[in-house]
Amino acid sequence: MKRAPIIPKVVTPPVPKHASETPAAPVVDSLIARVSAMARGNTITLPVCGRDVRFTLETIPGDKIETGSKVWVNNERDQTLLTEEALDDLIPSFLVSGQQNPAFGRKVADVIEVADGSRRRMTAMLTACDFRILVGDLDDEQMDSLSKLGNDYRPTSAYERGHRYIKRLNNEFGGNISALSEAENISRKIISRCMNTAKLPRELMALFSHPGELSARSGDALSKIFAIHEADILAHVERISQRKAAGEKLDAEEIFNELNGAKATSGAMRTQTTKRQYAPGAISRVKGNQFILSLDTSVLPVDIVERVEAILLELESSCK
């Protein structure tokens, strides 16, 4: 049975530059077994960022999860991409035995903010299971620590990390990508690739089973194609989406190859020009996505020209 462990039994990550030496996550032997056996209202004390936090287990009924909880705003996982397909590692176990490992969060007013467990939250919503979460008095630093810990089980995608890098670059580093690279302890090339991947439209990312199927390298390549052939890429996205909705199975490589091939289709379209003469003085040309109409008023009857102009004026009015 696939499970998303909340906290590993042993945590020995390298300490990044400028980071605190205090462990970011609680380290407790057999923690998973302890919390999975807890009942609603039970409490447990665990260290988070070197400070003890008393957690109380709360249970939210499946039909109250959406209103009774929300994902912490700084959780980098894109919630709109948490589909049944993306959660296929959790859904079977939830349907059989419910949620085994509680999430972690805090209560703000009457709503519980989820730091670690957004995938379990969405799975509980999709399966109508109770959502179990350990609620404690956590500050933003501790929420961030738990959120990052949850991502260790299934790392966030280049697309999701790219959005975080863009936010940090603008809000914390004034556009200095070298400073961001040093803070993240990641090369500038990888950060740039992730940020370019983040520029892709969400409907394109939704074609994949989960966003992690598109690597930073492939996302960077698609982003460059999208910047030049946006209309053609979006048309491909629509067609692939319709095929998937009809039940066709496409793996990540097939989707990437089809989208990558849009540039060739686009180039071919731009080189083709179709000319048609309707009557003397009335000629149209179709070149790529452009329809060019030429009317010779010295040859055509006045009423014909006026009727065409009336159609264009009607179009103008409808677009205002």
Taking a C-beta distance cutoff of 8 angstroms, is the pair 139, 125 a contact?
Answer: no
Equal fold, 31-155 vs 165-268: no
What's the fold here for domain 31-155? 3.90.1530
Helices (H), the chain: 31-36, 65-68, 91-97, 118-127, 140-151, 158-171, 177-184, 188-197, 202-205, 216-228, 230-245, 252-260, 262-271, 302-318
Q: Could you tell me the pTM of the whole model?
A: 0.67
- When pLDDT is cut at 50, 70 and 90, the band that residue 309 belongs to is confident
Annotated domain spans of the chain? 31-155, 165-268, 272-318
pLDDT at position 9 over 80: no
Q: What CATH architecture does domain 165-268 belong to?
A: Orthogonal Bundle (1.10)
Q: Could you report the per-residue pLDDT of 239-283, keeping only the tens digit for each?
A: 999 998 888 888 899 999 989 887 655 444 444 567 788 888 888
* Mean of per-residue pLDDT scores for the chain: 83
Half-sphere exposure of 114 (CA within 13 A, CB side): 28
Q: How far apart are the first and last CA of the chain?
A: 57
Tokens found for residue 59: 């249970």
